[in-house]
Every structure is written in structure tokens, then in C-alpha cells.
Structure 1
């Protein structure tokens, strides 16, 4: 069980020291949108980086740092190989990310954490649907940061292996660890990033990422909590599915224009 692996109910699991941002009235104006649409190039750079970090599979037997370092190397290679194809069919980036997302990020664990009490009250069908649509939202929302700003791909490739550096060691607690890193944008100061991982069957899986103290899980949790109370879980899932379809159609249309 996921709960046994990472002890979801444990106080402090949601990192209360995180920078919390107020919830919004719109389901799709997520708190973490500030990273995508911030005027600061460094935040846009890190968002693009996260989209690609989420795209790559983990390898069993590696330390978290080794795994994440290998991700960076593979990311540069994949971007280089896919660059021309993405110009003609940008939606291919969604497929590339989604095809390799599941073995690397524990989507069910993230979904449990994001929904909290609503997850425990949800039916098996609602849990399955939310996990699927939330995964799709993460893939398409953050990946579209690259597609909205094509020059980010070139800038990422220019940085090469210097995209991000990982600090040795890490803050371990049982089968969980936080790996601290610094992303290095082409312009501006370095940006602190913290990857939260836990070990499951010998493999390290990401369940949260913080950028400048902003936690993906905590901020989505804040947004979805208010929306579930207002509309109910089934309607929230339906709106997620609609938004995901809109993101796909917009990307395909942009590729054809």
C-alpha cells in the first residue's frame, strides 16, 4: 500500500514550511501557475526543466542523486533528437512525456496527497479517473510551458549538462529523502529546487517537487480542496478532463498554423 510506503497521514508530510499561496476561484488558475507565467525568466526556465524531468524513467539500484543526474543527461539527448519533429507536431511532446511518466512519478501517491480527505471518500472509479486526469494535467500543463516558448528548448540545449546541479547526500527519513538541487537558467540567479522521493520496491519515485519553496502537491491540494467543496469531486474531474482536451486541441492547432 502507498500509505505504508510513505505514511501519508504522518504530520509534516506536506512540508508545512512550504511557501503557501492563496487558492483561486477558477479550477484551472492553479497556484503553481506563477511558475509558468511569471515574468522572471528563471522561473519559466525551471518550469520547462520540470516538464522534462517528469518525462524520464527511473532506474532501479541508483541513488536518488544518480537517478536525477541520469535524467538530466537523457533529457538533453531526447530534446536534441525530438527537436525537429516537435516543430511540426508539438503535441508529440505530450506523448513523449506521458509514455514515460508512470514509472518515474507515483501518480497515485500524488493524487492521494492532493485530494486528501476527498480521496478517502471517493469511489474506486473516481480515484481512477482523477489519477488519470491529474497525471494528464501535469503533463500537458507544464509541458506546454515549453511549447508556448519554443526558444526554451534551444536554451535548455545550450546549457547541456549544466542545467542543474544536485547536492550530495540528502535529508533522509525512513524510506523517504529530499534531494536539494540548483537549476541554472541562461539568465539570472540560480533557482533552488527540492525533489521529494520515496523508495518502492528498490526504485526511487518522485512524489513532490518544490521550486523556490513552492510545493506542487501543497498548492494543488489547496486549489482542489476548495473546488471539491464547491462543485463536488465528480464535477471537478469532468472539468479536468475538459481542460486537458482543450490543452491538446490548442497545441495541435498551433502546430498546424
Structure 2
């Protein structure tokens, strides 16, 4: 076998193995790994703790977003209006909603100090493709915070599509505002409003000055 062909075969085998490993990772194991990785990164990076937006955004984009099904999250928030949107509108809505989520929750990362996460045993039927992973974020400064995840399994493995913080699911919390805005200004109006909100968030400091 020629060297170049050997290289292609080896690369193909490596990709296939990596894809299989991702698909085989259990949903609770995935969430635990992401949480540990993100918390450890923040605790050891003084720039993130100081509110460095670029580093926080890089962290979110590299370690969190690849494991989030942003289209499904946006689709569920849009509800019955999603099929009415054109492919271009769906793409723009997903992009702006994802950007809003990144801006909104990136500030929380810079506040991490000595937090730990306790995961509850996952309860799911054998072969289930939609599960909930439950956890508590513990800190010496405040009461534990409920943080639960909904994940679904697809060709790329398990992906998060909803979060529950203190009893409120993220998708449901945005669904009513999406519905209200679409009823008033249409889908393009909602996209415009999200874009404006993102511009405001982009100009807002990640951490409030002391």
C-alpha cells in the first residue's frame, strides 16, 4: 500500500473511531465532562475572572456550543411559528438567539470562584433518546442553585437543547416573548429585536465595575 493511501486509511479510521466515541458517551458523562472542563478553565484563568470578553466568548464557543443543539433550542422557542419561517429566517433567528444566549450567560462564567457541581443519578429508560440530567451548583457564598439539562441524541451524539435554572426552563422562558414579538412585528421583527439586544449586550461590560 502506498504511503499516501496508508495515511488516508489511517486518518479515516481515526475519524470513525472519534465519531463512535462521541456517539457512545453517555449524556450525564458528557455534561459532567463539560462542567468540569469549563469550571477548571475559569478557575485557572485570571483574564476570564476579570471579565475578558474575548476569552470568555472563546471558552463558550470552543467548550460549550459544540455540545448544544442551538437550532432545536430556537425551533422550540419559536414554537408554531418555526414552520412559517423561511430557511433564511430560521438561520438568522438561530444565529441571533444563540448570540443572545452566549452574551447573557457569559457573565456568569466570570463569577466562578470555588463552585462545585453535584450531579443527581440520571433516570432514563433503556434506549431513551431524550433525557434530563440534574445537578446542583454549590458555593460557600450562597444556597445551591438548581441547574438541569435536557439532551437529545442524534447522529453527532448527545446534545443539550434546554436548561433549567432555579426551576425555569430556558426555552419556555423565551417562548412567550418570541410569541408576543412575532404577533406584533412578525418573524423579521423578532430577528431585528434580537439583533438590537445583542448589540446592547456587546457594549455592556461582562463584569460590573467594583
TM-score by length of structure 1 reads 0.65
Q: Which has the higher contact order (CA 8 A, sep 6+)?
A: 1
Name the CA distance, whole Å, in 2 between partners of 1:212 and 1:184: 13
Distance 1:135 1:60, change over 3 A: same
* Displacement after TM superposition at 1:67 (Å): 1.3
Q: In the comparison of the two structures, how many residue pairs are matched? A: 189
In structure 2, the residue matched to 1:70 is 33
Contact 2:43 2:49 in 1 (8 A): no
Contact 1:86 1:93 in 2 (8 A): no
In structure 1, the residue matched to 2:154 is 200
Query: Is residue 92 of structure 2 the alignment partner of residue 139 of structure 1?
Result: no
Name the CA distance, whole Å, in 2 between partners of 1:89 and 1:208: 26
Contact 1:113 1:217 in 2 (8 A): yes
Query: Is residue 199 of structure 2 the alignment partner of residue 245 of structure 1?
Result: yes
Contact 2:120 2:135 in 1 (8 A): yes
For residues 13-51 of structure 1, the C-alpha deviation after alignment (integer angstroms, 9 at most, x for no partner) is xxxxxxxxxxxxxxxxxxxxxxxxxxxxxxxxxxxxxxx
* Displacement after TM superposition at 1:78 (Å): 1.5
Contact 1:104 1:206 in 2 (8 A): yes
* Displacement after TM superposition at 1:125 (Å): 0.7
Runs of 4+ in 1 over 4 A off after TM superposition: none
Name the CA distance, whole Å, in 2 between partners of 1:99 and 1:72: 13
Q: Which residues in structure 2 correspond to 1:74-153 (within 5 Å)?
A: 74-84=37-47, 87=50, 89-146=52-109, 150=110, 152-153=111-112
Higher strand proportion: 2
Structure 2 unmatched runs, 5+: 1-20
In structure 2, the residue matched to 1:210 is 164
Secondary structure at the counterpart of residue 250 of structure 1: coil
Name the CA distance, whole Å, in 2 between partners of 1:85 and 1:194: 24
In structure 1, the residue matched to 2:144 is 190
Secondary structure at the counterpart of residue 116 of structure 1: helix
Higher radius of gyration, 1 or 2? 2
Name the CA distance, whole Å, in 1 between partners of 2:174 and 2:159: 19
Name the CA distance, whole Å, in 2 between partners of 1:117 and 1:200: 22
Distance 1:101 1:129, change over 3 A: farther
Secondary structure at the counterpart of residue 170 of structure 1: coil
Alignment partner for residue 224 of structure 1, among 151, 157, 178? 178
Q: Which residues in structure 2 correspond to 1:46-57 (within 5 Å)?
A: none
Name the CA distance, whole Å, in 2 between partners of 1:184 and 1:143: 19
* Displacement after TM superposition at 1:244 (Å): 0.9
Distance 1:213 1:171, change over 3 A: farther
Name the CA distance, whole Å, in 1 between partners of 2:56 and 2:72: 24
Structure 1 unmatched runs, 5+: 1-57
Contact 2:38 2:63 in 1 (8 A): no
* Displacement after TM superposition at 1:164 (Å): 1.1
For residues 210-231 of structure 1, the C-alpha deviation after alignment (integer angstroms, 9 at most, x for no partner) is 1232110111011111111012
